[in-house]
């Protein structure tokens, strides 16, 4: 007796047929396409659809992020030279990462134990976070106290004396960062506190977007990281200032062309006519005019003399006498008539 599952009339579907039906259903039912203005669009219409991660919003465009990366690369290069002079020892810095992420994700990723410096950049809003690995911090402190800069193996929290010594290095880092924005704004930094655990920081809302910069530091035989986190609303005025300056530099104001006198103009002759505006006269009176008749002119007509160059009115002036000749003193220019559209 044959099994019912093998009978073609049993109505049972095997796995391949089920997968085929599901694929057809998914192909027929497509999710609606919502455009930026809220209108529904056709998913088949020409358009560029990109995936977007709402858990990690990016408030900076690719162009803006690229400009910030170039600026921070300059910051790291200048900082490396300045720290080497201050510590009197070679200090190599390299950018490890520059990205935007939420404040909660940034603080949760901070290691423990660690040393965190809270700072404020005047006149900007918000509080920034500077995280430095304790091993690197202790190595820098050892160098400041006259040591050879050998890596300190201990991983512990810093004492108050070590924090006070480390502040000199932290101030150099923040001052050099502010110096990169001197073309946009005059900035000043202020250290406002120190912490040793990032999970309890509340300097920004958890969903606030942060520009996170990670720097790999090689000092002697110690290789660790320094991280700087700044809320987006803190750097937003700087980003807008950079955009405005870039746009201004790319579209410079066109300087008006200066009129230049050429020698060939010296022999060009054009007719110059001085005329007065008269009141309207009926055609019958004009036809009746005879030699010797007097035409009345309005009061002040001498001050409304128009000077025509090659038949085009260009200046307004006053008629008078210059010696034994009649002359016109130019008082101003006549505005050209508006162009017809």
What are the extents of the domains in the chain?
62-248, 301-341
Span 46-62, average pLDDT:
60
Span 163-187, average pLDDT:
93
Q: What percent of the chain has pLDDT over 90?
A: 35
Q: At residue 60, does pLDDT exceed 80?
A: no
Span 143-150, average pLDDT:
88
Who wins on pLDDT, 253 or 334? 334
CATH architecture of 62-248: 3-Layer(aba) Sandwich (3.40)
The reported pLDDT for the residue numbered 252 is: 61
Q: At residue 1, does pLDDT exceed 50?
A: no
The reported pLDDT for the residue numbered 29 is: 58
Span 244-248, average pLDDT:
77
Residue among 245, 265, 93, 59 at smallest CA distance from 176? 93
Tens of pLDDT along 81-118? 999 999 999 999 999 999 988 999 999 999 888 999 99
Q: At residue 6, does pLDDT exceed 60?
A: no
The reported pLDDT for the residue numbered 9 is: 46
Average pLDDT, the chain: 82
CB distance 105 to 122 below 8 Å: no
Q: At residue 255, does pLDDT exceed 80?
A: no
**Reported confidence tier of residue 7, pLDDT bands at 50, 70, 90:** very low
- Rounded Cα distance, 226 and 49, in Å: 37
Sheet holding 128-132, edge to edge: 91-102, 209-219, 222-231, 128-132, 115-122, 188-195
The reported pLDDT for the residue numbered 49 is: 61
Q: At residue 58, does pLDDT exceed 60?
A: no
Q: At residue 59, does pLDDT exceed 80?
A: no
Who wins on pLDDT, 261 or 117? 117
Question: Cβ contacts of residue 156 below 8 Å, gap of 6+?
Answer: 113, 134
**Reported confidence tier of residue 231, pLDDT bands at 50, 70, 90:** very high
Buried b (16+ CB within 10 A) or exposed e, 125-150: ebbbbbbbbbbbbbbbbbbbeeeebe
CB distance 175 to 113 below 8 Å: no
- Rounded Cα distance, 189 and 122, in Å: 6
The reported pLDDT for the residue numbered 45 is: 57
- Determine which helix (DSSP H) or strand (DSSP E) holds 34, and give its type and residue range: strand 33-34
Q: At residue 165, does pLDDT exceed 60?
A: yes
Q: At residue 243, does pLDDT exceed 70?
A: yes
The reported pLDDT for the residue numbered 48 is: 63
Residue whose structure tokens are 């803190």: 234
**Reported confidence tier of residue 2, pLDDT bands at 50, 70, 90:** very low
Q: Does pTM surpass 0.85?
A: no
Span 254-259, average pLDDT:
65
Tens of pLDDT along 30-45? 666 677 677 776 655 5
Who wins on pLDDT, 175 or 330? 175
The reported pLDDT for the residue numbered 189 is: 92
Tens of pLDDT along 61-73? 777 888 889 999 9
Who wins on pLDDT, 250 or 280? 280
Q: At residue 10, does pLDDT exceed 60?
A: no
């Amino acid at each position: 007796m044959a099994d019912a599952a093998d009978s073609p009339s049993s109505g049972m579907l095997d796995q391949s047929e089920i997968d085929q039906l599901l694929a057809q259903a998914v192909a027929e039912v497509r999710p609606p396409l919502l455009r930026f203005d809220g209108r529904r669009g056709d998913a088949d219409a020409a358009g560029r659809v990109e995936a977007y991660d709402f858990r990690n919003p990016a408030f900076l465009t690719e162009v803006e992020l690229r400009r910030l990366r170039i600026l921070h690369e300059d910051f790291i290069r200048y900082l490396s030279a300045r720290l080497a002079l201050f510590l009197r020892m070679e200090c190599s810095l390299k950018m490890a990462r520059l990205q935007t992420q939420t404040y909660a994700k940034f603080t949760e990723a901070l290691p423990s134990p660690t040393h965190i410096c809270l700072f404020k950049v005047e006149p900007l809003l918000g509080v920034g976070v500077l995280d430095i690995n304790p091993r690197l911090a202790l190595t820098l402190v050892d160098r400041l106290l006259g040591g050879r800069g050998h890596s300190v193996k201990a991983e512990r929290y810093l004492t108050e004396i070590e924090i006070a010594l480390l502040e000199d290095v932290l101030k150099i880092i923040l001052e050099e960062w502010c110096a990169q924005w001197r073309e946009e704004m005059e900035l000043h930094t202020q250290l406002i506190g120190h912490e040793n655990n990032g999970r309890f920081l509340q300097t920004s809302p958890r969903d606030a977007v942060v520009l996170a910069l990670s720097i790999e530091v090689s000092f002697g035989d110690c290789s660790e990281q320094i991280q700087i986190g700044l809320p987006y609303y803190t750097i937003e005025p700087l980003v807008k200032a950079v955009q405005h300056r870039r746009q201004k530099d790319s579209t410079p104001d066109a300087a008006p062309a200066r009129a230049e006198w050429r020698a060939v103009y010296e022999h060009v002759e054009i007719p110059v006519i001085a005329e007065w505006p008269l009141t309207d006269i009926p055609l019958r009176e004009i036809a009746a005019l005879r030699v010797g008749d007097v035409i009345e002119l309005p009061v002040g007509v001498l001050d409304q003399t128009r000077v025509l160059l090659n038949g085009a009115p260009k200046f307004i002036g006053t008629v008078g006498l210059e010696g034994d000749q009649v002359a016109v003193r130019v008082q101003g220019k006549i505005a050209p008539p508006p162009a017809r559209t």
